[in-house]
Each structure stands twice: as C-alpha cells, then as structure tokens.
Chains A and B, each alone.
Chain A
Amino acid sequence: MTTMDKILTVCPYCGCGCGLYLHVDRGRLVGVSPSKSHPVNRGSLCVKGWNAHEFVVHPDRLLSPMIKDKGEFRECTWDTALDYVAKRLMEIRDRHGPDSIGILSSAKCTNEENYLMMKFARAVVGTNNIDHCARLCHSSTVGGLAAAFGSGAMTNSISEIRDAKVLFVIGSNTTEQHPMIGMHMLDAVDRGAILIVADPRRPQIAEFAHIHLRHKPGTDVALLMGIMHIIVNEGLVDIDFVRRRTENFDTFERILRDFHPHAVERITGVGIEEIRRVARIYAMEKRSMLFYAMGITQHITGVDNVRACANLVMLTGHIGLPSSGINPLRGQNNVQGACDMGALPNVYSGYQTVTNPRARRKFERAWKRKLPVKPGLTVVEMTEAAYEGRLKALYIMGENPLLSDPDLNHVKEAMKRLDLLIVQDIFPNETMQYAHVVLPACSFAEKDGTFTNTERRVQLLRKAIEPVGSSRPDWEIITKLSRRMGYDMKYRGTYEIMEEIALLTPSYGGMLHHRLREVHGLQWPCPDIAHPGTPFLHRKKIAKGLGTFITVEFKPPAELPDEEYPFILTTGRIYFHYHTGTMCRRTSVLEREEPSCYVEINPDDAEALHIKDKSQVRVSSRRGSITVLARVTDRTPQGVVFIPFHYSEAAANLLTNAALDPTVKIPEYKVCAVKVEPLIKEDRRPRSIKIVDLEDLRIT
C-alpha cells in the first residue's frame, strides 16, 4: 500500500465546491490540502475545508445497520435491515397508498444518489413526496428565478467576480459562509470594484463595503423596490434590454409607483440619500453582479424577495454577460445538484415538471413504470402530514429535520407519530432517536460520484478510503432496497447512473464522468458530449425566451416584535460551524473554537437589560425557550438578536416561526419575535463589608 497518496476530490461543506486533495497513508485519511489549479479556491481553503479529514473516522460513526426493538437499537446485518425496510414500506404502501410515504433526499449526497432517490420515490414507491433541505434555504430561488428567467441558479461563474466593477451583496455573510467566494469579492474590491452590502447585521464582508445599508429585517422587498423606483425615475433603465428581452414591464411599473422613497425610508430605516446612491452606482455600471443568500430567501416573502432581485437585474439589463448577473449563493455542497436531479416534489431531473404529460411519458418509458401525476408534499408539509397522521412512513437520507426545521417541538411530535421512520446517515443525529431503522452510509471520502457547486460546476468526487465499518454508499443502499421492493436497479458504478442522468436531463447531457475527470468539472447547461459547458447563463437570450417582470408586494414579516417579545430574532450560521453540526462538531479544532451557542445582542440593548458579555441569558419566543451565552457586539443592530442554529443543546429552531412563504413553503427563519432575559439577576446592592481590625489578627 502506498504511504502517501493524494486524491483530488471536492470539499463536503459549502456550495463553493472547492477542490481539495485528501491525503491517504496506508488506507488511512491523514490530511487535506487545497488544489492550486482549481478555479474556485486557487490554493486556498477555509478552516472547515482544512479540517475536512477529521470527522470521517470519528468514533461516533454509524458502523452497522440497526433496528429498534422494544425501544432500543439492535445491530443487525444489512440483509435483515433492508428486508425489514422493504417489507414495512410495501405494507404501508399497500394499506395507505403510496402518498402515505415521504422521502427526504439530501443536498449532502451526490447527484447520482439524489437521482436514484428521486427514481426510488417515483418509480418504486410511486409518490412525488420527495423533497430535501433546499426547501429550507433556496426554494424561493428555484421558484422565483425559474419564473423570471427559466433557470434558478447563479448566472455567472465565481472566477468572473474579480473582474466585476460593482458587487451588490444582499443578505449574505459571504466571507464567513462562502469564504472562497468572499475571497474573490475581496480581490475585486482590491482591483477597484465598488462593494455594496445590504444586511441588518454587520458581517465581515461589510467591513470592506463602500456602502452598507442596514435595513430592518424582513424589509428587503421595500428596499429593492425603492432602489428600482429611483432607477426608473432617474431614467437609468436599460430600455433596449427591457423592450427586447423582457415582458410585463408595464404592470410592474404601476406597482413600482407605490414605493416612493419616502415610504421606503419609513419602512426600511435606510435614508433616501443612501438608497439613491446605491441605485445610481448599481444601475450605471454594466459589470454589476448581484449576490444574495439566506437573508433574501428565508422569509415568508422569500419568493417576492427573489423576484424583486430578478426585476432589478432585468430593469438594468445586468444579465447575460460575463461579470454581470444575478447570483444566489447556494448553501450545501450539492444543493444545486440535488435540485437539478429533481429531488423536489414537483419536478424530475432538469426541472421537467411532473404535471407535464410529455416529461412524464419520457420518464415512464425510461423507467418502465407508471408515474404519479400529482405534485408531492414539501419538507414542512410532510411534517404537518405526519402530525395529522396522513403520512405514515418517512425515509430520510442525510438530513436532520429535528435540528434544521422550524418550530422543533412540533416536528418532534410529528416524528413520534410515524409508523416507520428510516434514518440513513453517517452519524447519529437528533432525528435518529425516533427512528425505527438506521442505515449507516459512507462519508464523502469513501465514495464516488459528482457534486454540483453553486456556480453550476459538476465535479467528480473520488473515493479516497474504503468504507468505515460496514457502512455503504447511499446509492448502493438505494439500489439494494429497490431490488427488494421488486424494481431492479442495476448499476456497476456511479458513472453508469450518470449516463442515465445525461440521457434524461437536457442540461446534463454531456456530463459524463470521463469528461469531468480531465478538468475541474463542467458547468451546466452542457447538452452534449462535445459541449464545453456554460460559464454564464442567458447569453444573447433569456433561457425561457423573455424575462418576466413579476409584480411583488411588500408584506411585513409574519411575527413582529411587541411588548411581550420585543426583539427580532434572526438566525444563521457561523464560520466555524456548518448547519446541524453533524460533521463540524465532531472536528476537534472547529468544536473547540465555538463550543457553545450564543446570542448576539447590541451593547445598548444589553445595558438596558443588565446583560453582561458571556453571561447566561434565556431567549424565549411563543414556541419555546433556550439558554445561551450573551455576546455583546455592535455587529447586531438595536432591537435585533442573532442566534446560530448549529447547536442541538440550545436549538435556535425551538424559537423560530414555521410561517411559510405561500408559493414555495420556505419557513421564515430570519424573523420572529423573542424576549431576552438575564438568567442571573444582577445584584445591584453593594455587598456589606466586614471591617477587620488588624489587632484581631495578631497571633498571640
């Protein structure tokens, strides 16, 4: 065995999709180093990437399948576990119908696995009840941008950022959450670009901003409409572009008149002058890139926020050119891919809708099964259906709803009511305690496949070490289960699955593994095997023909602060951790840096409440209450508090509101009302001091 092998693969953390080498010494993972030639990270990595090797062999890894017996998990063989799962799933399907089964796929798994999971749900189980965590982060993007342009992804490439002249970043803590994209932004600023950041908090990226707009949480629509109002009023509209490439401008313009800058100032708390400056700077430079992330999408007006961004881009014609476009920053390493693969209740791979008879026939012919017509349930709706008893079984691959979903107490109750809960993961997680069967899966280092990063780059994941314990790659588990349920899935390797994907998915038509091996992946659309991939979208023509101006209206957040709950709580991630902490909290350096949950609170608010830095406070909402440490900082404005959602021992999602966007059902993680109280009331009276006479102390 070789003593020092280095295998190029893709980082398992965020959507940047950095290229890294896994170091393998006699079959053991011993380190990580960045790829110097990779177009995204260019020899850099963030701290999570640098430590991506450690969690793989953590003692907590699930090593064997387990079935719950009298309230306790018993280890068993794969055959026993899979036979049991197949039998129970078929029983439930026969008794309650296929729609009584729900499937959660995973943005952490490969494209091949998501495709198979989607096929399993639709062809084997016979339901469209398949969804994944994109619902909770960027479903607004998929919904909003697809309606406007016909495609819901970053329109530019990451390497185009450094050539941009204006960067407008709204609702994204880029340097901490997409560090390598942050690096390119910093590069652009060094090269003279103007950086505009809109964020109620002051994230690190705002330190480099030329203009930082601190609007009130949940007022993004008003802010963006205010900017557009000024662009229209001052004649900065790209009229040629609007005429030739878009539709429905007139209706939109009528709505826009309502957003007079004075009204916008009142709603957002941002001065007219600032809004005017941003409007002029953004509209007048062609190489303007707009970026957004969870700050835009995780609201009950998530889709409207995205539409407003899309409208801004169309109004100024900043799309369809290099360094000019609209760029949603996707969170998970493969959330773009999981969406592309159709792990969503309403579409097959490549966003071919299930209600379209032609698309359905195509998949029916390929899969040789009759497919369900009705779109399925979303993540949050599945929880609701389980709570009401309509959903009997849930098969979860690589997700942890008991930490990631809003209003956790409710989710817990729903999980308890399921007849069958199958959890397939690499580590025990919070959801597992309610599971009936646990299936151990392989981590990113132990399997092949492809990930699609936020710039639509499909990259090869390469196996570096043998599976830990008796864990198996997710795709293998799905094929074995499927066989037991009477549908034979035969694949010799992930490359064969990719061939099937390419056959059925126009945008992935040329994405064959042997092509991806040559370069650091290809960007979709890549329709055929000679196509070089597409660095930026909507060149010469908007994907769906004409870009559509969709009217939006400003709606305040579902829950606003009042006398009892006077603060707005906004949640998010922090640099050293990642989502529900399954991997990073098992990495010693990362866990050591941020071992406990905290609440960021403005110094003025802290003083008024007698809260000291690092003291324990209780944060409560109408739905729950948690105890965390206070972190007094002016990064968070007055009246707003911020809590990271990684910590199961103080889960921010016990507090959050499950109010949903009406179109795509994304929950409003970014705004809910809470109160903050110090746990130990400060004793303000001076302590009585006993004065001791020195004479008394004298030893006699």
Chain B
Amino acid sequence: MTKEWILPKGHLSYWLRQLRNSASLIAPLRVDGDIVFKSLENIHEVSLDNPALLPSPKEFLFPQQESLFWIEDGTKVRQLYNNEKRFVFGVRSCDISALRLLDRFYLEGYEDPYYSLRRKNTVFISIVCNNPEPTCFCIGLGTGPYLEKGFDIQLTDLGDRYFVQAGNAKAFRIIRQWNFLFNKPKRIDYEDQYEVFLSSKARFQKRISLENVRKYILAGKVKDSFWGAVTERCFECGGCVYECPLCTCFTVTDRVYSFGIDRVRLWDTCLFKGFTRMAGGVLPNEKRILRTRRWYYHKLIHYPDLLGGFGCVGCGRCTVTCPGKIDMATIAIKLRDLQDNG
C-alpha cells in the first residue's frame, strides 16, 4: 500500500513541530562541525545535506547500551522497557533497507521484546538521497538511493516541495492527521520525482557487485594470504561493527550496585577474540585472521543464505570509520580487481 502526496517545503517545519508535539522527534542536526542524529530542539538546525551519518540509526532500536532489567532485594525483577514514541526524521534508504534485515534477526523465531517494542514505537521518515557521498554504494545493491517499498514515510526533495509516500497503514494515519498540509500530486510531480531518481543515480562514484564477490569467494579463489594481509591492517577497534546498520553483536553484563543489580546489554563485536571465549578459557577464534575473515563471510555468504540478503546495504560507514582501510567497499573492489587479473 502506497499513498502519495505533495508537501510544500514551507510546510515542513510546521509539520515537524506537530510531529514533535505528539512524540519525541529525532533528526540530523548540525552541531560543532558535524551533523548527528539527536533530539530536535531548534527546527532550523535540521540539516539534510549528509547521507550516512555516524553512527547508523540502528542505535534507536538497538541502543549502544540499554538496561534490560533491574533486580532488587536479590529476587524482585523489574523489566525495563522503553515505551517512548519516536519519529526519526531524515534517515536514508540504505538504513531503512537495513532495518528489514535487522527485523528478521530480532523478530523472527525468538522475538526480542526490547527491540520489538522500540520498533513498534518508532516511525522512520526517510529521504531519498540526491547527493550521495563518495563512500556510498547502495546503488549496486538495490538498497537505495530510493525505495519502492519497505519504508514508513519516504520524502523526495523536488526543489520547492517534497514528494511524500506512505508505505504502511501507520504512516498513512500519521499523514492523514495533518492532511491540510499535504496536496494531491500532479502528473508533473511524478515526472520530477523520476528525474530526481535518475540524477541521484548518476552521482554515485562507486558501483560494486557483492554478488560477484560472493561467487568468487564461494569458488574458493580467495586465498588465506589475502585475508592475512587484510588482517594485518585491522586495528581491532570494532568500528565497522558498531557503525554497521546491520551488525547485531551484543554482550550482556551485570552492574552490581549496593541498592540493586542492573542487567545491561551493550554493543559488542565478533572481531574480538573474547567474544566467543568458552568456559575454561578456550578461544575458538584466537587467530586474528579467523575473525576478520569471518566478518566478510558473515556479510557476504551467511547472510544471504540465512536471511536472503547481503549483510551490507552500501551505506559506506565502515569506509569512513575503518582506520586500517579494510572496509567492505575497499575489500570488494580489491577482490574484483583480483578476479579481473585471474
């Protein structure tokens, strides 16, 4: 179900104010030289210039650190759920695509109640990228720069107005609440939206076929020496996993206070040897090469096998954050070149 409207740009700040009155509103804001997602205070600070912001909006569903429950008097357990209703404005198509796989991980089979509740309470208003960064490569993966389906509300910047699409019933109801702000689209609006799609696609500097890389790996052509050289450059910062909109590694720890126990879930990464330490101290992945290689295997081989899509949406965040420059895009391009040279 998709419904379409036109929102004149002059109406945007009014609409955002209305959204903020009904729930908390998070948007990309310019602060101290960077643009970051944070609670909106001043509407005029909203900046839609930068596509992939650090870190990815997965932090709004799967926070870097969250308290799961609290134990008092040794026995009384109080579950800590975050019931807050939120709008996240200004996310990009790649991140919305990532949510679909994140949902499958956290909601299928065992349903993670913390994730589930946050997901239900959060509406994402995404914007079509018309200014991809040099690090972006969603275009080769079908995860951007715009989406046909799977979004909550998608905006396309047509210069003086936004083309607005609602992707589900919840989104439809939200738009309807302030329907006096929105107009019916005309034929020219559809044409203009298509123009934006075309011009946006033309601006990508990277086109990467992960499918070819996957086939190349599966054919057993990538030698350990290649992964060894990649591993040498790994700083073990965990940045790729922390930044990745699709990575789900976490650890759980107890904070034992005198007045109770706080069970906390924290981001973790499979790139650390202690992540898979077993009782008795055995480290199955003690060699660094096993862990680095595993990360690429997980994203390129296991994800498609298990969840039907690559564990990468081409947001390019790992390209920005990796101090050793062994991010997904760089490695995929290196493997493509290797393939070319036989």
Contact = CB atoms under 8 A, between A and B. Distances in A.
Given A21-B36, A30-B63, A43-B320, A589 B256 contact: no
A50 interface: yes
A4 interface: yes
B227 to A, nearest CB: 15
B66 interface: yes
Interface in B274-317: 274, 277, 281
Interface string B234-276: 0111110010000000010101111000000011100011100
Nearest to B50: A36
A629 B59 CA distance: 38
B41 interface: yes
A615 to B, nearest CB: 12
A592 B274 contact: yes
B206 interface: no
B77 interface: no
Given A179-B323, A182-B323, A50 B237 contact: yes
Contacts of B237: 44-47, 49-50, 179
A44 B266 contact: no
Interface in A32-89: 32-38, 42-47, 49-50, 53-54, 57-59
A3 interface: yes
Contact of B235 (A4, A6, A182, A519): A182
Chain A binding surface SS class: mixed
B277 A592 contact: yes
Given A8-B32, A175-B235, A182-B323, A33 B54 contact: yes
B238 A47 contact: yes
Contacts of B26: 3-4
B255 A4 contact: no
Contacts of B253: 588
Nearest to B38: A6
Contact of A34 (B321, B324, B325): B321
Interface in B39-94: 39, 41, 54-55, 59-60, 63-66, 84, 86
A274 interface: no
A485 interface: no
B115 interface: no
Nearest to B253: A588
A36 B317 CA distance: 11
Contacts of A25: 63
B38 A589 contact: no
Nearest to A187: B325
A96 to B, nearest CB: 39
Interface majority SS (helix, strand, loop, mixed), chain B: mixed
Interface in A402-424: none
B233 A520 contact: no
Contacts of A180: 323
A517 B323 CA distance: 26
Contacts of B255: 57-59
Given A4-B38, A59-B257, A182-B323, A54 B65 contact: yes
- Which of A37, A45, A182 has the most chain B CB atoms closer than 10 A to its own CB? A45
A31 B320 contact: no
A517 B31 CA distance: 11
A405 B237 CA distance: 29
A3 B63 CA distance: 12
B65 A575 contact: no
A53 B65 contact: yes
Interface size class, chain B: 35 or more
B269 to A, nearest CB: 8
B74 to A, nearest CB: 16
A499 interface: no
A23 B60 CA distance: 11
A183 interface: yes
B231 to A, nearest CB: 10
Contact of B321 (A6, A43, A519, A594): A43
Interface string B199-237: 000000000000000000000000000000000110111
A592 B55 CA distance: 24
B109 interface: no
B54 A34 contact: yes
A186 B34 contact: no
Contacts of B64: 23, 30-32, 53
A27 B273 CA distance: 33
Given A8-B31, A21-B36, A46 B54 contact: no
A5 interface: yes
Contacts of B236: 47, 575
A59 B264 CA distance: 13
A32 B38 CA distance: 13
A240 interface: no
Contacts of B59: 23, 31
A43 B54 contact: yes
Nearest to A629: B281
Interface in A1-22: 2-6, 8, 21
Contacts of A594: 274
Interface centre among B31, B41, B66 (most CB of A within 10 A): B31
A31 B321 CA distance: 16
A5 B39 contact: yes
Interface in B94-111: none
Contacts of B55: 31, 33
Contacts of A6: 31, 36-38
A31 B26 CA distance: 16
B342 interface: no
A372 to B, nearest CB: 42
Nearest to B272: A593
A179 B239 CA distance: 12
Contacts of A592: 251, 272, 274, 277
Contact of A35 (B34, B251, B267): B34
Given A5-B39, A37-B33, A593-B273, A207 B239 contact: no
A190 interface: yes
B24 interface: yes
B235 A46 contact: yes
Task: Name which of B235, B251, B258, B272 has the most chain A CB atoms within 10 A of its CB.
Answer: B235
Interface in B310-342: 320-325
A520 B34 CA distance: 11
Interface string B105-125: 000000000000000000000
Contact of B266 (A42, A43, A208, A589): A589
Contact of B65 (A2, A31, A190): A31
B66 A588 contact: no
A59 B256 contact: yes
Interface centre among A33, A42, A190, A593 (most CB of B within 10 A): A33
Nearest to B24: A3
B65 A183 contact: no
B65 A4 contact: no
B30 to A, nearest CB: 11
B235 A183 contact: yes
Given A8-B34, A186-B233, A520-B33, A588 B266 contact: yes
Given A50-B237, A179-B235, A36 B34 contact: yes
A175 B231 CA distance: 13
Nearest to A190: B325
Interface in A590-606: 592-595
Contacts of B251: 588-589, 592
29 contacts: A5-B39, A8-B32, A8-B33, A25-B63, A31-B55, A31-B63, A33-B55, A34-B321, A35-B32, A36-B34, A37-B33, A43-B321, A44-B320, A45-B237, A45-B239, A46-B237, A47-B236, A49-B237, A50-B242, A53-B64, A54-B65, A182-B235, A182-B323, A183-B323, A186-B233, A186-B325, A588-B251, A589-B238, A593-B273
Sorted from nearest, which 7 A-B pairs have the closest CB atoms?
Answer: A31-B64, A183-B323, A37-B33, A2-B39, A588-B253, A592-B274, A8-B32
Given A3-B26, A46-B235, 12 more contacts: A3-B86, A4-B39, A6-B37, A23-B59, A31-B59, A31-B65, A36-B54, A44-B322, A54-B65, A179-B323, A187-B325, A595-B274
